[in-house]
Amino acid sequence: MDNMKVAYETMLGLAAEMVLDEALRNYRTEKIYDAIDDALAQGDVESFRRLTDELKTIQS
């Protein structure tokens, strides 16, 4: 029975980590989209390219 408890706790830990990773990825993606909008509004080509590259990396 202890093996079942350890396995269950491990699964819960992994699930929690997956939820946290997804939340952080979504937060960062939203911030990058905001920064891309700002770069476009300011005509900052270098920042736009850097941010879109970062966005591509996150989404892959």
Per-residue pLDDT tens over the stretch 38-52: 999 999 999 999 999
Residue 3 lies in a domain: no
Residue 9 lies in a domain: no
Residue 10 lies in a domain: no
Residue 51 lies in a domain: yes
Cα–Cα distances (Å) from 43 to 3, 22, 49, in that order, read 59, 31, 11
Structural domains counted in the chain = 1
Give the range of the structural domain holding residue 52, as residue numbers without chain letter: 19-60
4-37 residue pLDDT tens = 989 999 999 999 999 999 999 999 999 999 999 9
Confidence (pLDDT) at 2: 86
Residue 47 lies in a domain: yes
Residue 7 lies in a domain: no
Residue 5 lies in a domain: no
Maximal CA-CA distance, the chain: 62
Confidence (pLDDT) at 1: 66
